[in-house]
Amino acid sequence: MKTHTFFIWLITFSAVLTACTDQEPEMIRHAEYQKKIQQLVDSTLHAYQTDVPDFPGGVALKIIYKGNAFFVSSGMGDHITGNIHFRAASITKTFTATAILLLHQQGKLNVNDYITDMIPGTTKPYLPASPTYEIPHKDSITILNLLRHRAGVFDIVNDNIPDTISASVPYKGLNYIDYITETAPAHTFTFDELAQVLSETGISYFTPGSAHHYSNTGYSMLGKIIESVSNKTYQQFLMEEVVIPMGLTNSSFPSLGSDQEMSVPYATGTVIYNNESFDLSSQNVTATVAEGNLISTPDDLSLFINKLFTGQGVLNYYTVYSQMMHYLPTDDSVADGYGCGLRYMNMLGYGHTGAIAGYLSIMVCDPQLDFTAVAFTNAWNFNQGVPGLERQLNELIKNICYKSKALMKNY
């Protein structure tokens, strides 16, 4: 009896010893690559600071490679983790597209429908048949046009209202968002309000489907469609049908003008203008609901896009690969193509970038290599000039993603 017990103990001990021996090299290799990634981010940020010596921010990077997770930061101080909150800006569009395609997958809408068509099983159109929504070319715009930025919808957020329009409006020649918030900084913008601006000015870029032009306001229209189809607010639908089911715990979509703070911990968003520093961590983002209001973390975003491409999210493989990833060429400098809420960036993968005063970010995944990266920086230096700033910051975070992807290929 004692001999039998001894042999059982010996076999168990041997199994444990073997497991420890197998795990040890993996742990050592992981630590080595964690150090290499840290060095890569440090050196890339240092090179950037050589060109912009008074850059007050830093960089954070989260990588998932074949199930192995890494997080590093540089220039953001101590105790920064993957749960640090920041404003993810246009990365919101990937979430909005996911929500639209989920409704399509469920048969509750059809992305090939026109926005004037009736919601399946109802006598209610996708967008209201009211003067507020008499936007230019409304009868010719499909939901798919909006998803791919091919609807010609004028971008109220990024562009000034042309001073050549015939409509007599007080904001002619101005940026409508700035015009409103100058006197009412906590104003809550609505989808109806943005549509009203398009309707009363009659402005658009082109006839739907004839070209590509990035449009934040086009995605606001998608937000309205989500609400019309689901009978929930945009925020409710995204949280209940996308964020929570996919296991994200630190993401939110502010929708009130008074909701301007981020949950702690968060990375302070800094802007330097005329050699003066401003903290823009608190912002009114209601003009960008459904296209740029997301607050998230590197952990949440990497989990989201990794699940999306591995079929573990709310969308099935067919929807992701045949609809979402199917991109058309673009003429912008940010990406080589745009699908449904996804940019295709050559040699890097599919994902999206985000830019809002104080933050610039990227979320990208190469499903074939099983490589995911999320990176962001938390400062803008307008002393460098706006065009130079955007180019330099984009190069900074993209270089980090490209270099880290090349490094991980040997892991």
In angstroms, the CA 127 to CA 227 distance is: 10
Domain that holds residue 220: 86-408
Q: Examine residue 58 and state whether it is found in any structural domain, yes or no.
A: no
Q: What CATH number does the domain containing 299 carry?
A: 3.40.710.10
Cα separation values, 314 from 98, 238, 309, Å: 8, 11, 11
Residue 381 tokens read as 């230096």
Tracing tokens 């192995």 back to the chain, one arrives at 68
Phi–psi pair at 140, nearest 5 degrees: -110, 5
DSSP state of 118: B
Could you write out the DSSP letters of every residue in 8-23? HHHHHHHHHHHHHHHH
Q: What is the pTM of this model?
A: 0.93
Q: Examine residue 275 and state whether it is found in any structural domain, yes or no.
A: yes
Q: Examine residue 158 and state whether it is found in any structural domain, yes or no.
A: yes
Q: Cis peptide leading into 136, omega within 30 of 0?
A: no
Q: Examine residue 215 and state whether it is found in any structural domain, yes or no.
A: yes
Residue 81 tokens read as 């983790």
Beta bridge partners, 271, equal 278, 380
Beta bridge partners, 345, equal 349
Q: Examine residue 67 and state whether it is found in any structural domain, yes or no.
A: no
**Residue pair 380/141 in contact by the 8 Å Cβ criterion:** no
Q: Examine residue 62 and state whether it is found in any structural domain, yes or no.
A: no
Q: Examine residue 13 and state whether it is found in any structural domain, yes or no.
A: no
Q: Examine residue 289 and state whether it is found in any structural domain, yes or no.
A: yes
Q: Give per-residue pLDDT as tens, 334-355.
A: 778 999 999 999 999 999 999 9
According to the model, what pLDDT value does residue 218 have? 98
According to the model, what pLDDT value does residue 21 have? 54
In angstroms, the CA 232 to CA 236 distance is: 6
**Residue pair 82/62 in contact by the 8 Å Cβ criterion:** yes
Residues in the chain predicted with pLDDT less than 50, given as ranges, are 1, 10, 16-17
In angstroms, the CA 117 to CA 101 distance is: 17
Question: Domain total for the chain?
Answer: 1
Could you write out the DSSP letters of every residue in 297-310? -HHHHHHHHHHHHT
**Residue pair 189/234 in contact by the 8 Å Cβ criterion:** no
